[in-house]
Every structure is written in structure tokens, then in C-alpha cells.
């Protein structure tokens, strides 16, 4: 008796490095790695972030079993928005800059290896997080975090060196802001360099902002970070890279189900690595186990 093959749609972000000129590589690798007895697939290259979401939504409505995001965290965010609430399963083929969600889950950045994971069909349920009328999967934030996301989006070159250069150039001149938070009903006032809402443990590049963050605990980690004097900055960077940042006196992590944050202006926020403009007051709520994802 023939078993119906599972359908996969690969959605490629055109600026992820796997654009038209390298589509053949992905096509060849998929043919080499994926189990043809169990899967049939299509590869499409999006023209924009909005089209990523639309392609994902159409595929989910058509009953596509697996929708694969080929790109970074911004691409993943748009794919998730398209398939959210459907029965489609998300697969990650990391091809972006930071790849925060992939790193958190231990998904290989080598394309052939991440494709091979699809054969295992090891599906896990994970949380997503609503922020006002938007959604994020990995991390969102305000303050210096958002400024870096805004500058990085305009940078001619992506990658860690570009990211590091922006942080180094902007950090000495950035003044901390005052934030009013309501965390699970408790009022909290803080002056901070930035406040991040972490569903996963990192921004990307294995820079770990919340070492104990879990994607299936029904909680978001509110990471309140004070400005570190430049003389101590190398030490704090070391803590970021060694999963010990939560031991710093400059960092406070509070786990929560619901959070609201009020700032003075409705400037951009960092939403899964992309700059997005939202209202002055941000309402954050965890959506427990609301996304099916393929994991190692």
C-alpha cells in the first residue's frame, strides 16, 4: 500500500546567501539527502519579507506538511507568522547572520546536515510570544538592542564583524533609558541599556543573554541589562560568550508569563533581529506550545 508522501516547501530569503545563484546547490543537496520515498518538495525564492509570510500562509492553508525557512531569524519569524495556527511543521535551514533559534536548538548550520534532520521527523512543540499585534519566536527587545537591529538592517554587509562594529561604535555614546514594567502583575521600574524578552537563550552568534531560557516552559525571560562601564566590557562580553551573563551584577533576569513595558517614545524594537516600529506600550504574552518544529 502506497503511503502518501509528505509535502515540503522551502522558502528562501533572497538576502540570506542562498539566493537564485545558489538555488541549484540547495536543489542538489535536497535530492541527495532527503528521503524521496517519504517526501516531495518545492523550493521557492521570496522577493521580500512580506512575501515570505504570504508564501508560508498559502502553503499552510494548502495543507503543506513541512514549511522550511531558509535564512536567518527574520526569515523564520515571517514563516512562522504565515503558518501560525495551522498543522504545518516548521523546519530550519540556517542561512542567515545570527541564526539564534537554530543555535539554541542545536540545529547544524551546514545545509546538508540541517536538511538531513528532516528525515528524522522529530517534532517538538515550542512556545511563541505575542507582542502587541505582532509575534516573535526567539527574542525581542528595546533600547540599545533595538538600535543595533536598526543599524544592522541598513548595513551593507551582514555577519558577526558588521554586528560587532555597530555595537562598538554606538555603545560609548548610548544613554540608558527609563522603563516602566508590569511583570505578572508586579510593578518594576528600571533604568537600562536595553530590555530583552527572550524565548530562546541568545541573540544569535552564540551570544547567550539568558542561559536558562527554554522554548517549552510557558515563560519568557525578561532580561534587564544596565550599561557596563567600558573598563568592564570585555569581562561582560566574556560572560555572554560563556553562558554566564546571568551571574553579572549588571544583568537581571525575571521569568514571566505576561509583561507590559512602557517607554517614552514608540521607537523601533528588535523583533527576532529585525527592526519593527510598535507603540510606546508593549504587551507581551507567551503562547504555550503553539508551534510545531523539527529538532535534532
Residues 95 and 159 grouped into a single domain: no
Residue 267 inside a domain? The answer is yes
| pLDDT number for residue 202 | 85
Distance between terminal CA atoms of the chain? 30
Question: Are 181 and 261 within 8 A, CB to CB?
Answer: yes
1 band by pLDDT with thresholds 50, 70 and 90: very low
Which backbone phi and psi does 247 adopt, to 5 degrees? -90, -5
CATH of the domain at 32: 3.40.50.10330
Residues 159 and 82 grouped into a single domain: no
| pLDDT number for residue 181 | 97
Residues 107 and 150 grouped into a single domain: no
Residues 20 and 102 grouped into a single domain: yes
Residues 140 and 77 grouped into a single domain: no
Distance CA 137, CA 258 (A): 15
Residues 183 and 45 grouped into a single domain: no
Instruction: Give how far Cα 292 sits from Cα of 256, 265, 284, 295, Å.
Output: 22, 35, 21, 10
Residues 110 and 175 grouped into a single domain: no
Angle at 208 (CA atoms; ends 216, 179), nearest 5 degrees: 85
pLDDT tens across 26-40, in order? 899 999 999 999 999
Where is pLDDT greater, at 85 or 239? 85
Q: If you count them, how many residues does the chain have?
A: 296
Distance CA 64, CA 120 (A): 18
Distance CA 145, CA 151 (A): 10
Amino acid at each position: 500500500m502506497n503511503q502518501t508522501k509528505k509535502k515540503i516547501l522551502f522558502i528562501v530569503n533572497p538576502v540570506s546567501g542562498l539566493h537564485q545563484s545558489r538555488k541549484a546547490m540547495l536543489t542538489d543537496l535536497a535530492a541527495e539527502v532527503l528521503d524521496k520515498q517519504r517526501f516531495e518538495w518545492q523550493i521557492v525564492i521570496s522577493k521580500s519579507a512580506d512575501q515570505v509570510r504570504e508564501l508560508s500562509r498559502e502553503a499552510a492553508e494548502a495543507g503543506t506538511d513541512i514549511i522550511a525557512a531558509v535564512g536567518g531569524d527574520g526569515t523564520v519569524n515571517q514563516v512562522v507568522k504565515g503558518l501560525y495556527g495551522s498543522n504545518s511543521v516548521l523546519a530550519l535551514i540556517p542561512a542567515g547572520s545570527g541564526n539564534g533559534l537554530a543555535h539554541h536548538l542545536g540545529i547544524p548550520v551546514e545545509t546538508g546536515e540541517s536538511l538531513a534532520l528532516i528525515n528524522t521527523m522529530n517534532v517538538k512543540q515550542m512556545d511563541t510570544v505575542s507582542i502587541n499585534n505582532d509575534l516573535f519566536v526567539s527574542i525581542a527587545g528595546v533600547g540599545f538592542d533595538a538600535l543595533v537591529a536598526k543599524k544592522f538592517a541598513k548595513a551593507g554587509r551582514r555577519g558577526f564583524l558588521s554586528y560587532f562594529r555597530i555595537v562598538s561604535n554606538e555603545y560609548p555614546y548610548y544613554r540608558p533609558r527609563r522603563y516602566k514594567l508590569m511583570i505578572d502583575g508586579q510593578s518594576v521600574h528600571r533604568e537600562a541599556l536595553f530590555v530583552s524578552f527572550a524565548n530562546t537563550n541568545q541573540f544569535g552568534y552564540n551570544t547567550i543573554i539568558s542561559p536558562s531560557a527554554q522554548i517549552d516552559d510557558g515563560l519568557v525571560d525578561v532580561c534587564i541589562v544596565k550599561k557596563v562601564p567600558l573598563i568592564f566590557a570585555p569581562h561582560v562580553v566574556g560572560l555572554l560568550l560563556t553562558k554566564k551573563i546571568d551571574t553579572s551584577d549588571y544583568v537581571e533576569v525575571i521569568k514571566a508569563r505576561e509583561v507590559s513595558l512602557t517607554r517614552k517614545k514608540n521607537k523601533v524594537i528588535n523583533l527576532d533581529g529585525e527592526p519593527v516600529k510598535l507603540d510606546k506600550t508593549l504587551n507581551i504574552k507567551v503562547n504555550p506550545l503553539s508551534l510545531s518544529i523539527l529538532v535534532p
